Amino acid sequence: MSDTILYAVEDGVATVTFNRPDKLNAFTDPMLAALGKALREAARDDAVRCLVLTGAGRAFSAGQDLADVRERDASGGMSFREHLETTYNRAIAAITELEKPVLAAVNGVAAGAGASLALACDVRILAEDARLILAFAGVGLVPDSGSTWFLPRMMGYERAFLLAATGGRVSAAEAEALGLASQVVPGEALAGTARELALRLAQGPTKAIGLTKRAMRRALTGRLDEALAYEAQLQEIAGRTADHREGVAAFLEKRPARFAGR
Ligand code: T3D
């Protein structure tokens, strides 16, 4: 994809690696453009049935490159609003709207928009020494790239507010206790653990999993009656897939299902 955003597909799993380790994978504009391209490719390619985001080196990502922010400011470049709307906001929408599971394998510090990107994923597996840092307050900014939406829902308003207002840090163990991570593993086991789960998800009924994601994400802002109606609507779609028929046949024939993702 580019030198700073690596993209590889193997066994139905696409892996996007933020690759600017000397700057803790802080995002520059070319990197954000390449990330957008990788996310579009993962959505387009039917062979991709699960996506993993991770970082090279000792960080997941330290968020927006602050040298670039200063340069933009000095040169009268793009406004914050325009920058967010054309880069991070699109990436967050692409992750949350992708009808395939997205895992963050958080290998180290995830700060600012790096933390937001991890929070946008469906599942987070953290290395023991990973940290989530709401770094925005430290540079006089508000949490962006979805953090004001994700965090209060995931950990409650009060804790989320305190974390954001103090630029607080959450260790991997705290993240797990707060429900911000599904699993914490030793650093050397992270890639293997993430791959194992990604493979399992990639071998699942991709269409039904994608619709599950769509329904649950929508239910986060809706009412129960709306969720019931939407579930019934989506079940019409899932119920007509080859994977549904295969799942039922496998059960009745007492054998494991072989889902094709259709
Ligand atoms: O319009 C818009 O785009 C607005 C969007 C804003 C979204 C945001 O993400 S705002 C938040 C931006 N991120 C931060 O404020 C975090 C800044 N980084 C840190 O606080 C620390 O680096 C960490 C706590 C993440 C890690 O600390 P440490 O001590 O382990 O590493 P370090 O020595 O600070 O960093 C190592 C290198 O990475 C260093 O470069 P050098 O001196 O060795 O050449 C450092 O400058 C660089 N680096 C780390 N984070 C960034 C960065 N360079 C540019 N931008 C960064 N965000």
Q: What pLDDT tens digit does each residue of the chain (262 aa) get?
A: 799 999 999 999 999 999 999 999 999 999 999 999 999 999 999 999 999 999 999 999 999 999 999 999 999 999 999 999 999 999 999 999 999 999 999 999 999 999 999 999 999 999 999 999 999 999 999 999 999 999 999 999 999 999 999 998 999 999 999 999 999 999 999 999 999 999 999 999 999 999 999 999 999 999 999 999 999 999 999 999 999 999 999 999 999 999 999 9
Q: Which atom number of ligand 1 is nearest to the Cα of residue 84?
A: 1
Give the angle subtended at the CA of 54 by the CAs of 58 and 96, to the nearest 5°: 140
Query: What's residue 257's pLDDT?
Result: 96
Q: Coil, strand or helix: which one is 186?
A: coil
C-alpha 215 to ligand 1 mean position (Å):
36
Q: Which atom number of ligand 1 is nearest to the Cα of residue 87?
A: 3
Query: What's residue 237's pLDDT?
Result: 97
C-alpha 113 to ligand 1 mean position (Å):
11
Query: What's residue 1's pLDDT?
Result: 74
Residue 202 · residue 194 · CB < 8 Å: no
Residue 110's Cβ-count burial label (10 Å; 0-12, 13-18, 19+) is buried
Q: Which atom number of ligand 1 is nearest to the Cα of residue 141?
A: 10
Pairing of strands 123-127, 102-106: parallel
Q: Which atom number of ligand 1 is nearest to the Cα of residue 81?
A: 1
Ligand 1 and 136: CB distance under 6 A: yes
C-alpha 115 to ligand 1 mean position (Å):
12
Residue 193 · residue 125 · CB < 8 Å: yes
Rounded to 10 degrees, the C-alpha dihedral 13/131/158/118 comes to -20
d(CA 66, CA 7) in angstroms, rounded, equals 25
Q: Coil, strand or helix: which one is 227?
A: helix
d(CA 56, CA 73) in angstroms, rounded, equals 28
Ligand 1 and 133: CB distance under 6 A: yes
Residue with tokens 């949350």: 96
Ligand 1 and 55: CB distance under 6 A: no
Ligand 1 and 20: CB distance under 6 A: no
Q: Which atom number of ligand 1 is nearest to the Cα of residue 80?
A: 1
Task: Spell out the alpha helix ranges (H) of 2-123.
Answer: 29-44, 66-75, 80-86, 88-97, 113-120
Max Cα separation, the chain? 68
Partners of 84 in the β-ladder:
none
Structure-token pair, residue 135: 């770094």
